[in-house]
Amino acid sequence: MSAEKTVDLGQVQDIDVLNLSSLEERAKKVIGQGEFGYISEGSDDEYTKKRNTSAFNDVHLVPRVLQNVEEPDQTTEFLGRKLSSPILAAPIAGNTLAHESGEMGLAKGTKEAGVMMAQSTFASKTIAETAAVSAGAPYMFQLYMPKDWGYCKYLLDEARNAKASAIILTADSTLGGYREADVLNHYHLKGKIANLDGYNTGKDGVGAGGLFAESMQSLNLDLIDKLAAYSGLPVIIKGIQHPADADAAIKAGAAGIYVSNHGGRQLDGAPASIEVLPAIAKVVNHRVPVIFDSGVRRGTNVLKALASGADLVGVGRPFSYGLALGGWKGVAAVAEHLKMEINIAMQLTGSKTIEDVKNIQISHDLKF
């Protein structure tokens, strides 16, 4: 606790949140053009990015009434951690693009709001810096598998030290999607990769260039056991879009399935994430928990994802925008707004608990 006090989390301020979507235009004014392009863009024609959000309109929640609901309880557990809401601040690279406090601001904001966060390998702050702020709050580490096993071990060690609940192995990004905003802005992700700098510290004569552990392209199922064995942590696979991959990953030892299309930043032409969730959840069949992200902007989106089989629902860009606008207070405000919307949606669907939400009837075609 006192550790936090010594940390500089940059300029912070309270922000009003009308809704999550409205933050984008506001954030655009305070983030550099290249940085904003990088955060907001999708790949190719942004079909999948746009469809991620619009596809939620095709999922209807059929409300129940006279269910004796009062003050619904949206607390939940994930991998043994108690959460104030089934919300995850989904892992995003380089949060100092949005705000000087980077992942530390994100850690502080999500901790205050009682929701989980995940930190990317490509974070702007080291795992240790972030953990100092997070200080035991629910936390996961997202791994972009390095080619260099030494660097990988370092990251896993740091994650374990940071009391990460799980390692999230990124499976859908062995190459970056083609993103035109970056081309138009002549933008290349700038700034230090904090964790890599941390790894190099104290090593003699090994420059960042020489040792640069670029990510491994050729991933396979064997990595799951390898990562779990070394780290002693549960391994969750992120970027699952096909039921067969979910099944294979679980059989290979995955402790969780993370359904995502990377916010439409990777394969354009992939289905909306919410479209593939039901078939995957059916195959998973509660063997392991399911995380979902891509396109979530409303409390009802969270309910739709839970009712479609998710256990934890990630939100990405809106947290970056909240961070940009208010530092950690902006992050907390985004989480609190979403919790407010979730609360109303639970009451109006007749759901007392998150378990009830999971049983809401989804009416794709109203054939009931």
Q: How far apart are the first and last CA of the chain?
A: 51
**Long-range contacts made by residues 155-158, C-beta under 8 angstroms, separation at least 24?**
155/121, 155/127, 155/195, 155/199, 156/227, 156/230, 156/231, 156/233, 157/231, 158/126, 158/127, 158/128, 158/195, 158/198
Indicate the residue among 1 and 66 with the shorter CB distance to a second copy.
Answer: 66
- Closest distance of CB 118 from a second copy, Å: 18
What's the closest the beta carbon of residue 240 comes to a second copy, in angstroms? 7
Q: CA torsion sign, 304 to 306 to 308 to 312?
A: positive
With tokens 């929640």, the residue in question is 61
286 is catalytic: no
Q: How far is the CB of 79 from a second copy (least distance, A)?
A: 21
Catalytic residue among 99, 186, 242, 262: 262
Task: Judge whether 130 and 123 are in contact, CB under 8 Å.
Answer: yes
* Cβ distance to a second copy smaller for residue 107 or 240: 240
With respect to a second copy, which residue has the nearer C-beta, 72 or 289? 72
Q: Which is nearer to a second copy, 76 or 260 (CB)?
A: 260
**Nearest distance, CB of residue 322 and a second copy, angstroms:** 17
Burial group, residue 54, by CB count within 10 angstroms (0-12, 13-18, 19+):
exposed
Q: How far is the CB of 182 from a second copy (least distance, A)?
A: 11
Least distance from a second copy to the Cβ atom of residue 146, Å: 14
Pairing of strands 361-362, 61-62: antiparallel
Specify whether the CB–CB gap between 332 and 15 falls below 8 A.
Answer: no
The Cα 355–Cα 341 span in angstroms is: 17
- d(CA 28, CA 231) in angstroms, rounded, equals 39
Q: Measured between alpha carbons, how far is 177 from 170 in angstroms, rounded to an integer? A: 14
Distance CA 2, CA 202 (A): 28
The residues assigned a catalytic role are 262
